[in-house]
Amino acid sequence: MTAAITAFRANVPQEALDDLRQRLRRTRWPETQTVSDWSQGVPLAALRDLCAYWAEGYDWRRCERTLNALPQFTTPIDGLSIHFIHVRSPRPDALPLILTHGWPGSVLEFLKVIGPLTDPAAHGAPDAPAFHVVIPSLPGYGFSDKPMATGWGVETIADGWIQLMRRLGYDRFVAQGGDWGAAVTTAIA
């Protein structure tokens, strides 16, 4: 029996975005650090700038539009709803490729490579290999469910990605990951 794959669209309620902005604006800042570099962590000025950007400048709706322009789905794997992007190449010889983000990243890390990987000819590389790209959100990240118990380590995620690829009809595939995703990719091997 094949588990369901359900189409997904990002649509964060405006109230949640407003709440985030208000919480960022109400941040109680610590005293200035004793050094002027990063040796004791994030400098207070850099953190204030980042929070101000998220409170006043970041356009989440633009990000949603970018995500929603791509085919996104969810599927249950071992009791969690796993979110993923799945873009098929127009090339019949394309090889399935699963890309796994790292910590504290997200599927957004891969947005600029989807086009060149799935349709290299349209991006100036007609002789380059093409891929059917699958980009899941790690459990607890993005729009994937957060595990409610221990047990979702590297090996479990790797097994989940193998299930996902088989569910999509890919018995043979390649994998890439950076940071935490590199550990998952190694476990897939």
Looking at the domain that runs over 70-188, which CATH code has it been given? 3.40.50.1820
What percentage of residues in the chain have a pLDDT greater than 90? 93
* Cβ–Cβ < 8 Å for 143, 6: no
**pLDDT for residue 36:** 85
Whether residue 136 has a cis bond before it, omega within 30° of 0: no
Helix, coil or strand: residue 73: strand
* Per-residue pLDDT tens digits for 114-130: 999 999 999 999 999 99
Host H or E run for residue 96: strand 95-100
Query: Considering the entire predicted model, what is its pTM?
Result: 0.91
Helix axis angle for 180-188 and 154-167, nearest 10°, is: 60
Q: How confident is residue 112, by pLDDT bands cut at 50, 70 and 90? A: very high
Q: Tell me the Cα Rg of the chain.
A: 19
Statement: residue 107 has pLDDT above 60: yes
Least confident of 6-15, 26-35, 61-70, 152-161: 26-35
